[in-house]
Structure 1
Amino acid sequence: MRASMDRLLRGRGFDTKLFGNAAALLDHGRFNTAVCIILDVNLGEKSGIDLRRTLAEKGVEAPVIYVTGNECPANRAAALASGCVAYLTKPFAAQSLIDSVERARVS
């Protein structure tokens, strides 16, 4: 899924950076030029929502788009409460992701 989103966004002219896990993203440290951060709600060792909270505690203000394959009202509510610009349930249309990133760019 990451590779597919990477190809889609690069094809639309966005410069993307992929991370294999939450720790790699946190170690990145260069968020000031990010249009947005796309996080899966279920990251295995840490939830994307918890990762978003950790980023916010570190002062990262980049907009967040969540994707999930396990839709549940509690996750949706927590994601929206964390301040995301979009919450996409897999499978989602490519245009939904593009529109979400464009919305993040102008926010």
Structure 2
Amino acid sequence: MKAGGPVVGVLDDEDQMRKALSRLLATYGYQVEAYACSADLLAVLSFSHLGCLILDLHMPDLNGFEVLQTFIDRCVNLPVIVITGHDMPGTEERVRSLGAAAYLLKPVDDAALVAAIRHVT
């Protein structure tokens, strides 16, 4: 990927996951902006130049469902790739109905994640 490509946002409350995803994406040439909580992302969203967002579903402040609903409420048109380690029946359908472009399970398969990012950006 050439420099100047899309910036990928990573919203995950787990420090190790943010670091791992940031390192992985950097090896593919992506610039990454990582956020530890939903409030941090939402505070800068209107000024953001993100090409897509990788969104953890289960977080202590606003969870991924609430973030997706906030995007709908604010008319935010940002492709979202949801990742979760807590897959439950109906979860994928629910996040897709809230606008998620992809749904991946932790531990995230590197190739699947990069393919999803390329598909939405």
TM-score, normalised to structure 1's length?
Answer: 0.89
Cα root mean square deviation, aligned? 1.2
* Matched-pair identity in %: 28
- Contact 2:35 2:41 (8 Å CA) reproduced: yes
Matched, 1:95 2:89: no
Structure 1 unaligned regions, length at least 5: none
Q: Among residues 98, 101, 108, which one is paired with 1:82 in the alignment? A: 98
Number of the residue aligned with 1:67 = 83
> Displaced runs of 4+ in structure 1, greater than 4 A?
none
**One-letter amino acid matched to 1:70:** H
CA distance in 1, matches of 2:103, 2:78: 15
- Contact 1:26 1:55 (8 Å CA) reproduced: no
CA distance in 1, matches of 2:25, 2:76: 22
CA distance in 2, matches of 1:92, 1:11: 16
> Can you list the C-alpha shifts for 1:26-73, whole angstroms capped at 9, x where unaligned?
001223x32111111101222101111102222210100000000012
TM-score, normalised to structure 2's length?
Answer: 0.80
Q: Among residues 12, 27, 33, which one is paired with 1:11 in the alignment? A: 27
Question: What displacement does 1:83 show?
Answer: 1.6
Aligned residues: 104
CA distance in 2, matches of 1:63, 1:56: 12
Question: What displacement does 1:92 show?
Answer: 2.3
Number of the residue aligned with 1:20 = 36
**One-letter amino acid matched to 1:44:** P
SS of residue matched to 2:35:
coil
CA distance in 2, matches of 1:86, 1:55: 16
Structure 2 unaligned regions, length at least 5: 1-16
SS of residue matched to 1:73:
coil
